[in-house]
């Protein structure tokens, strides 16, 4: 019996060593990549400066005829009285709500020939507000792809003042117009590494609901300063073709853009 017990113990030891050897020889399995996590809600504010030039045709003060416009940013900057540019994005899981606001006030003028009037001044207020709802259709460790739709609101308010001269006669004429453009939008964010990334975004709309056609293209290179702050530089183009009666605004705004985003 003693010899039988010793044989059983030896057999069990050999089996254990064989199992251990099998475990050692088996190649380790690579862990599955972690799933992309969507944290929320989060909010990010973006402040930006858009050095926009202006090109197109406009008749925003009927009954004055439509005129061609070709203004560089340096020309606009001379008459710029102030402006606000900023955007905010609220995200929860795959959903995001993005709102962009642009406001500017420009005043230009000059002396008039003849004794009857002394000078003319044109004051132009422009407000554009866009709100989009975006859904993240695809996301992995290197790229995010969003699709969505929204509304772009335009408000143009212009005032012409002809100042008195010898006749002591003053002329004031104001014209304002606002409209809403439905748009469909897309955005791609491609991460090069932990610090650098590229954003491409655009939309198209109008469809004769407000304007005949409006579209926008934005491309930016992003530098992640830290977990909360990201710096951007790139180029933006915004176009609109709107006509109602004698009111015409068919212009393209384009130029370099610099921005920062702070995530809360």
One-character DSSP codes across 197-238? EEEEEEEEEETTTSSSEEEEEEEEEEEE-SSSEEEEEEEEEE
Percent of the chain with pLDDT over 90: 60
Q: What integer best gives the mean pLDDT of the chain? A: 84
Global model pTM greater than 0.85: no
Q: Are 46 and 86 in contact (CB under 8 A)?
A: yes
pLDDT at 119 (0 to 100): 64
Alpha-carbon distance values, 216 to 30, 62, 123, 186 (Å): 44, 27, 26, 11
Between 16 and 76, the higher pLDDT residue: 76
Would you say residue 168 lies in a domain? yes
Alpha-carbon torsion (60, 65, 68, 69), positive or negative = negative
| 219 belongs to a structural domain | yes
The whole-angstrom separation of Cα 124 and Cα 175 is 10
pLDDT over threshold 80, residue 89: yes
Q: What angle do CA 57, 61, 65 make, to 5 degrees?
A: 55
Q: Which residue has the tokens 């099998």?
A: 22
Structure tokens at 177: 């117009």
Q: Is residue 216 part of a domain?
A: yes
Task: Give how far Cα 207 sits from Cα of 59, 152, 248, Å.
Answer: 21, 12, 16
- The answer to the question of residue 9 being in a domain is no
Q: Is 23 a member of any domain? A: no
Lowest mean pLDDT among 39-53, 65-79, 198-212: 65-79
pLDDT score, position 66: 79
Mean pLDDT of 155-176: 76
Mean pLDDT score, 226-253: 95
4 occurs within a structural domain: no
- Do 144 and 123 touch, CB atoms closer than 8 A? no
Listed in sequence order, the residues at least 6 apart from 48 whose beta carbon sits closer than 8 Å to its beta carbon are: 85, 86, 87, 232, 257, 258, 259, 260
- Whether residue 23 is predicted with pLDDT greater than 50 in this model: the reply is no
Percent of the chain topping pLDDT 70: 76
Strands 229-244 and 247-263: antiparallel
Does some domain include residue 235?
yes
Q: Structural domain of residue 185, as residue ranges? A: 38-263
Alpha carbon of 121 to those of 104, 166, 175, 189, 256: distances in Å?
17, 18, 14, 44, 29
Domain assignment present for residue 252? The answer is yes
CATH number at residue 148: 2.40.128.90
> What confidence tens digit (pLDDT) does each residue in 123-152 have?
889 999 999 999 999 999 999 999 999 999
Helix, strand or coil for residue 175? strand
Question: Could you give phi then psi for residue 22, rounded to 5 degrees?
Answer: -60, -40
Nearest to 216 by CA among 198, 231, 203: 203
Task: Please give the tally of structural domains in the chain.
Answer: 1
Neighbours of 209 (CB within 10 A): 12
pLDDT at 9 over 70: no
């Amino acid at each position: 019996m003693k010899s039988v017990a010793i044989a059983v113990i030896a057999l069990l030891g050999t089996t254990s060593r064989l199992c251990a050897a099998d475990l050692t020889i088996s190649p380790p399995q690579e862990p599955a990549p972690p799933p992309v996590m969507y944290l929320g809600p989060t909010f990010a504010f973006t402040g930006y400066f858009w050095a926009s030039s202006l090109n197109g045709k406009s008749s925003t003060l009927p009954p004055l005829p439509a005129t061609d416009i070709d203004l560089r940013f340096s020309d606009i900057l001379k008459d710029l009285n102030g402006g606000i540019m900023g955007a905010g994005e609220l995200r929860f899981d795959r959903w995001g709500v993005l709102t962009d606001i642009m406001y500017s006030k420009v005043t230009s003028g000059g002396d008039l020939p003849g004794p009857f009037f002394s000078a003319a001044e044109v004051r132009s207020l422009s407000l554009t507000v866009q709100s989009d709802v975006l859904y993240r259709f695809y996301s992995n460790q290197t790229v995010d792809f969003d699709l969505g739709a929204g509304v772009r609101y335009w408000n143009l308010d212009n005032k012409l003042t002809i100042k008195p001269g010898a006749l002591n006669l003053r002329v004031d004429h104001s014209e304002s117009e606002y409209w809403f453009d439905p748009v469909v939008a897309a955005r791609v964010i491609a991460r090069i590494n932990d610090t650098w990334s590229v954003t491409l975004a655009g939309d198209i709309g109008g469809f004769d609901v407000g304007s005949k056609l409006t579209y926008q293209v934005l491309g930016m290179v992003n530098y992640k300063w830290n977990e909360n702050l990201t710096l951007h530089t790139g180029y933006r183009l915004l176009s609109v073709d709107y006509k109602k009666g004698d009111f015409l605004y068919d212009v393209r705004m384009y130029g370099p853009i610099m921005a920062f985003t702070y995530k809360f």
